[in-house]
Structure 1
Amino acid sequence: MTSRTVKLLADAATPEDLFHGQWQGRPSKLDAFKPYLDDRWNQGCTKAWTVWIVPLGYQGSYQRVRAYFREKRLSPGPVTARPPSPRVVARWILRRPESLAETDRLRLKAVLVHCPELDAFTGHVRSFGQMLTEPQGERLPQRLDAIRQDNLPKLHTLAAGIDRDRDAVIAGLTLHWESGVVEGHVNRIKMLKRQMFGRAGFDLLRKRVLLYS
């Protein structure tokens, strides 16, 4: 037994203090389903056997679910799921709502309830995503006005930048033509130029571009 373990046992005031250590905070198969369990708990389902999460994809044991409900029941303070990382939340927001798994949808809902600014931001992101995937350029002025009504300074900067080229952006979101082919040729020419490490003159570059075509 190490001196650290001895000190932990000696300083423990309650039996619960002995369970704080390297095992705390480890990921569990139940973590992704805790927001759903929290919602069911708030709805009055305080018994583990009344909540069936296997159809949602849970592959853990029933004992884990029962232990989580027991912890909520005996804890003096509220026990809730750990918040997801910003990267995970960003991935949920950028995906189509219908493509999210049920557990991810519930976890995102729990995050947005506690952050009205992020909730408004999510609505704007999804509206712009719809305009990008479906030709709806005529809705751009309406969406820019909606952004300005919310207290989201970063999006205000984005809206101001779009306003400077509003006609071009509307055309890009409405018309079926695109500059993808031209951009591809420009990238190809840049690649050929980089391959010469800056030592090729115009004549050689011209020949390489023509032969590469």
Structure 2
Amino acid sequence: MPLGYKRSYQRVRAYLHDKRTSPRPVTARPPSPRAVTVWILRHPDTLTESEQLQLNAVRRHYPELDALTRHVRSFATMLTSRHGERLPDWLDAVRQDDLPSLHTLAAGIDRDRDAVIAGLTLPWNSGAVEGHVNRIKMIKRQMFGRAGFQLLRKRDLLS
């Protein structure tokens, strides 16, 4: 006895037609984790109205993301306005919330708290030095391991 469907083609066609034309509930796709991350890390004034509404909806549904957003934004304010003296209060606030990844960050900051406070407060930085170190490392990588000190020195002085 052969296997298969014993009814007519028209019956299958009618069944599929009903399925294809029946209204489906319209639901908005949730934003991707990358999009939410970008919204949290950007300055609130640079978000479009749509992005702001979506971020607010996500923050209402996920209290841990709301706490994370508050901590990230307060740290960004502290960083951009050079208020390193606020760091101990920020660390205490982070420890009060149940955010393990921020607890790890807080523990790392605590290991060298004075240096971090100085970095967040003082106007000086080592950006120029780090730029030169990065350039020398790039030259060394370009030379595929042939960069002895003499050759690296000569190439650095010529560039």
TM-score norm. by structure 1 comes to 0.64
AA aligned opposite 1:10: Y
Once the two structures are superposed, the pairs formed by residues 167-182 of structure 1 within 5 Å of their partners are: 167-182=114-129
Closer, same or farther: CA 116–18 of 1 in aligned 2, 3 Å: same
Alignment partner of 1:158 is 2:84: no
Alignment partner of 1:195 is 2:142: yes
**Structure 2: distance between partners of 1:137 and 1:198:** 42
Which of 81, 91, 103 in structure 1 is aligned with 2:28? 81
CA contact (8 A) 1:9 1:18 kept: no
Once the two structures are superposed, the pairs formed by residues 59-70 of structure 1 within 5 Å of their partners are: none
Closer, same or farther: CA 88–8 of 1 in aligned 2, 3 Å: farther
Once the two structures are superposed, the pairs formed by residues 34-45 of structure 1 within 5 Å of their partners are: none
Alignment partner of 1:9 is 2:14: yes
CA contact (8 A) 1:136 1:173 kept: yes
Alignment partner of 1:107 is 2:54: yes
CA contact (8 A) 1:93 1:125 kept: yes
Alignment partner of 1:91 is 2:38: yes
Alignment partner of 1:149 is 2:96: yes
**Structure 2: distance between partners of 1:8 and 1:90:** 46
Identical-pair percentage: 66
- 1:114-169 Cα shifts (integer Å, max 9, x gaps): 11111001100111111121111111110000000001111111100110011111
TM-score norm. by structure 2 comes to 0.83
Closer, same or farther: CA 5–200 of 1 in aligned 2, 3 Å: farther
The Cα of 1:6 is off from its aligned counterpart by: 6.7
AA aligned opposite 2:134: N
What is the match of residue 123 of structure 1? 70
Give the CA RMSD over aligned residues.
2.7
2:104 aligns to what SS in structure 1?
A: helix
Closer, same or farther: CA 209–11 of 1 in aligned 2, 3 Å: closer
The runs of 4+ residues in structure 1 deviating greater than 6 Å are none
* Gap regions ≥5 residues in structure 1: 25-70, 72-78
**Structure 2: distance between partners of 1:5 and 1:190:** 71
